A and B are shown apart, each in its own frame.
With several copies, the nearest count.
Chain A
């Protein structure tokens, strides 16, 4: 039988060739890939404007092969709102860490969703401040040690992890709010579908869309990349259950 070569996987066009500054095994890279793949599949590269946060992914604009802006810490949803309102024809997305989105940027993310801004938010929940060297995030697990919770997060003093998908699903302006994980191939595939649906939400004008991705930070968790994936599945998922928190009925029919 004659055979030919089939490409099962190749680097997406929506990524540049630049080597990332992420630590080995950090799933920021995985998230980037998924977004790039989805944008390729939907043919949106030349139409998209990304908004990078302040956080480890601050240089995201060097890795995505499309127009990008860099927001102030936490303000990416406001910046995206500004862009989308004057350029509704563009596909606008933010990429934000948990410090960025859930701590300093809490007001902006809540209001972007309340307004039902037609933007897509990719939210990287790695339970830590990666960029500044491992401080407690709003999503840090109870008891987890960080440089600013050196005795383990004491919920009496430092409060409880914030569940953004749950919160944003309360908002009437939200069209698509889900939580996924990046800890193994199956979950990564599910995450990609969610990213696709989030962009579909925007393309159809169904309001605010957010995909929360449980992500690893081997460096600041102080464990190996592989152990970090185990930490996600064993420690994070129980606190941040995966699932669909809000899905506009119009999206249910889409097959991706």
Chain B
């Protein structure tokens, strides 16, 4: 499957609560136990490239730490209204 979605986790906001990890239907998230954020948390990270860009992780993240992006066919290329 080609990449059609990805996320970015903001170190400043992520508290390593793991709710996104549990919620991701593609099971592509994990807490990074190797790394501490400046605030001392193990942040979430993508571990596989099969993210669908469904946005569920962002919906459950209490800290609005996740941005979600998706590749779109050009026809509907208008940037979504945020």
Residues of A bordering B, CB below 8 Å: 1-12, 15, 17, 19-20, 22-30, 32-33, 36, 40, 184-185, 188-189, 224-226, 229
Contacts and interface: CB of A to CB of B under 8 A. Distances in A.
A208 B52 CA distance: 40
Contacts of A7: 67-69, 79-80, 82
28 contacts: A4-B72, A5-B70, A5-B72, A6-B71, A7-B67, A7-B80, A7-B82, A8-B55, A8-B68, A8-B69, A9-B68, A10-B67, A15-B64, A17-B12, A19-B39, A20-B13, A24-B41, A25-B17, A25-B18, A29-B62, A29-B64, A33-B61, A33-B64, A36-B64, A184-B23, A184-B60, A188-B59, A225-B19
A27 B72 contact: no
Contacts of A8: 5, 53-55, 58, 68-70, 80
Given A5-B72, A7-B69, A40 B82 contact: yes
In this complex, which of B56, B62, B63, B80 has the most chain A Cβ atoms within 10 angstroms of its Cβ? B62
A5 B76 CA distance: 10
Interface residues of B, number: 37
Given A6-B79, A10-B67, A25-B19, A1 B73 contact: yes
Interface in B1-36: 5, 10, 12-13, 15-19, 22-23
B60 A5 contact: no
Nearest to A11: B64
Contacts of A27: 62
A35 to B, nearest CB: 11
B62 A26 contact: yes
Given A15-B64, A25-B19, A184-B23, A6 B12 contact: no
Contact of B74 (A4, A29, A189): A4
B65 to A, nearest CB: 8
Contacts of A225: 17-19
Contacts of A28: 62
Contacts of B23: 184-185
A40 B64 CA distance: 14
Contacts of A11: 10, 13, 64, 67
B18 A226 contact: yes
Nearest to A17: B12
Contacts of A3: 71-74
A11 B13 CA distance: 11
Contacts of A25: 15, 17-19, 62
